[in-house]
């Protein structure tokens, strides 16, 4: 029995490999501090849990849901987009579809629009699914390097016209995983204009829209005039409301993009459990104060790590958003060598930058999803091991 040849092009999923190494060390008795995966350790808010209890007891939630999501969920989503971003006039029937988290929708949009030989324009470093989704659809990924000197924004002028004319999708993700970078509405307007010029579906992965600090509020690409003509945005309740395991999100925007995505989804999944959709509607009513109570925890953790790394010689600034810190490795190491060093000497698990693409070389990512005392312990272990930043 042989695997399909497409699997030869796809490395083991980054976090699956990290978890394997972690489990091996735990089995050997090593005390591991895992700063690898961005899975919030803060429980889902109790007000959301209470709605779920009632929704499960309601027998009307026990049958198959509508493929595109219940009308109530899609209507509530349209209202949330208006209240949160000021995006008005969204049609719940043609411009919104519920998703099983955002990962499956991100993968399935490739199947809807990319044919063998088509290009996709993907950020590097970036969420690995952008590349693997391209490969599964038979397309060719064209890398848009995200470099520190350009504030981790892609340089659209560097994309050859011939490539742009053959591209079907352009992917961005701000606030960004893994770099923590942010983008302005002015940059989103540049993206919209570029994609309109070349008739490319602009795909914005907005999974971290509600995880931001220092008073910053990330914008939606759909706030740009005319964006809905060319753009689709992917949202997830996973990080915003500590609901990673619930698997609920949505895609919103251009009706052709939503139609294509919905057509794929009707053939590969049977929708989101109605009880979870009811609960997601309740999550939309979470107050600003309740959201701030969660983000302030991550903000405090961010400050601990920034101050700790600065004490060890790193010259870094605190990110404005996401659950991550994109941190340069000391001179003399590759990203893989340095993360192996942290694992071997300190029992610290972090992913190497190279795991997010070739441009990620020279960095590693820290997730702020473990308790304060563990973060302080990690800094202490690095200090005791003599690990410092050097150019």
Query: Where does CATH 3.90.1150.10 sit in the chain?
Result: 5-43+289-384
Peptide bond into 166 cis (omega under 30): no
Q: What is the pLDDT of residue 14?
A: 66
Q: What is the pLDDT of residue 304?
A: 98
Q: What is the pLDDT of residue 67?
A: 94
Query: Where does CATH 3.40.640.10 sit in the chain?
Result: 46-283
Q: What is the pLDDT of residue 28?
A: 86
Q: State which H helix or E strand residue 201 sits in.
A: strand 201-205
Q: What is the pLDDT of residue 15?
A: 66
Closest to 18 measured CA to CA, from 44, 38, 42, 40: 38
Q: What is the pLDDT of residue 321?
A: 98
Strand partners, 205: 234
Q: What is the pLDDT of residue 9?
A: 85
Give the CA distances from residue 5 to residues 8, 10, 114, 267, in Å, rounded to whole numbers and listed in that order: 5, 10, 18, 23
Closest to 389 measured CA to CA, from 333, 347, 319, 305: 333
Fold entry, domain 5-43+289-384: 3.90.1150
**CA dihedral for 202, 205, 206, 212, sign (positive or negative):** negative
Q: What is the pLDDT of residue 22?
A: 78
Query: pLDDT tens for residues 50-88?
Result: 999 999 999 999 999 999 999 999 999 999 999 999 999
Q: What is the pLDDT of residue 5?
A: 87
Q: What is the pLDDT of residue 7?
A: 86
CA 276 to chain CA centroid, Å, is 21
> Which positions of the chain have pLDDT values less than 50?
none
Give the CA distances from residue 231 to residues 143, 151, 154, in Å, rounded to whole numbers and listed in that order: 20, 23, 17
Q: What is the pLDDT of residue 37?
A: 81
Query: pLDDT tens for residues 16-36?
Result: 767 777 788 888 888 999 998
Classify domain 46-283 by CATH number.
3.40.640.10
Closest to 247 measured CA to CA, from 102, 381, 389, 110: 102
């Amino acid at each position: 029995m042989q695997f399909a040849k497409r699997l030869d092009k796809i490395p083991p999923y980054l976090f699956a490999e990290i978890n394997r190494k972690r489990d091996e060390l735990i089995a050997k008795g090593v005390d591991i501090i895992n700063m690898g995966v961005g899975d919030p350790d803060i429980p889902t808010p109790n007000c959301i849990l209470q709605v779920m209890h009632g929704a499960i007891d309601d027998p009307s939630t026990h049958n198959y849901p509508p493929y595109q999501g219940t009308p109530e969920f899609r209507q509530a989503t349209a209202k949330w987009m208006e209240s949160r971003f000021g995006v008005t006039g969204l049609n719940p029937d043609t411009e919104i579809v519920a998703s099983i988290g955002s990962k499956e929708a991100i993968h399935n949009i490739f199947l809807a629009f990319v044919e063998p030989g088509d290009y996709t324009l993907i950020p590097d470093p970036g969420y690995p699914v952008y590349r693997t989704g391209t490969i599964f659809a038979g397309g060719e990924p064209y890398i848009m390097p995200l470099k520190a000197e350009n504030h981790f924004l892609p340089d659209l002028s560097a994309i050859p016209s011939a490539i742009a004319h053959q591209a079907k999708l352009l992917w961005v993700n701000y606030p960004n995983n893994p770099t923590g970078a942010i983008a302005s509405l002015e940059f989103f307007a540049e993206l919209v204009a570029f994609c309109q010029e070349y008739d490319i579906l602009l795909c914005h992965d907005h999974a971290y829209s509600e995880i931001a600090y220092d008073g910053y509020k990330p914008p939606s690409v759909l706030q740009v005039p005319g964006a809905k003509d060319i753009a689709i945005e992917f949202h997830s309740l996973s990080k915003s409301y500590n609901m990673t395991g619930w698997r609920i999100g949505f895609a919103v925007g251009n009706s052709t993009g939503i139609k294509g995505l919905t057509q794929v989804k009707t053939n590969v999944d049977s929708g989101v459990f109605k009880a979870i959709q009811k609960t997601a509607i309740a999550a939309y009513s979470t107050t600003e104060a309740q959201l701030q109570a969660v983000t302030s925890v991550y903000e405090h953790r961010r400050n601990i790590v920034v101050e700790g790394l600065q004490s060890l010689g790193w010259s870094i600034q605190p990110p404005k958003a996401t659950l991550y810190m994109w941190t340069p490795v000391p001179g003399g190491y590759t990203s893989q060598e340095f993360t192996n060093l942290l694992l071997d000497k300190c029992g610290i698990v972090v992913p190497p930058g190279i795991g997010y693409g070739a441009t990620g070389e020279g960095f590693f990512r820290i997730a702020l999803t473990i308790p304060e005392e563990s973060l302080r312990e990690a800094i202490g272990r690095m200090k005791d091991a003599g690990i410092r930043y050097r150019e």
